[in-house]
Amino acid sequence: MSMLISGIVSVVLGIIGFSLWWSAFIIALKGIIPILLILGGILAVYIGIDSLEDQAREERKKQEEKLQKTRDEMEQIKLQSEQYREELERLKENVKKTNLDKSN
């Protein structure tokens, strides 16, 4: 209840203060608005730079993942090619054996 009463008193005093010191309020407002605009602009620039850095970081992460995926695929292809070479060598030996057996 005391909060309600103090709130009402504050509102009434604020309205009276506005009516008595309106010109002082306007002068203060004229001084505060440019400062708020400057601070708001600085904040917007900071947020914009931070957003660009986040985008660059995400892009770099995607590229690193893509590079790692490509490296993994290359490793699999190398292993597969090694298996094919071994199979080719076995087939060559089998053909030689078969040709030797036929010639004998």
Q: What is the pLDDT along the chain (104 residues), one digit of tens a residue?
A: 889 999 999 999 999 998 899 999 899 989 999 999 999 999 999 999 999 999 999 999 999 999 999 999 999 999 999 999 999 999 988 888 887 777 66
Residue 72 lies inside a defined structural domain of this protein: yes
Cα 11–14–19 angle (5° rounding)? Answer: 130
Domain range for 97 is 31-103
Q: Domain tally for the chain?
A: 1
Residue 24 lies inside a defined structural domain of this protein: no
Quickly tell me which residue has 């695929």 as its tokens. 73
Residue 1 lies inside a defined structural domain of this protein: no
Residue 13 lies inside a defined structural domain of this protein: no
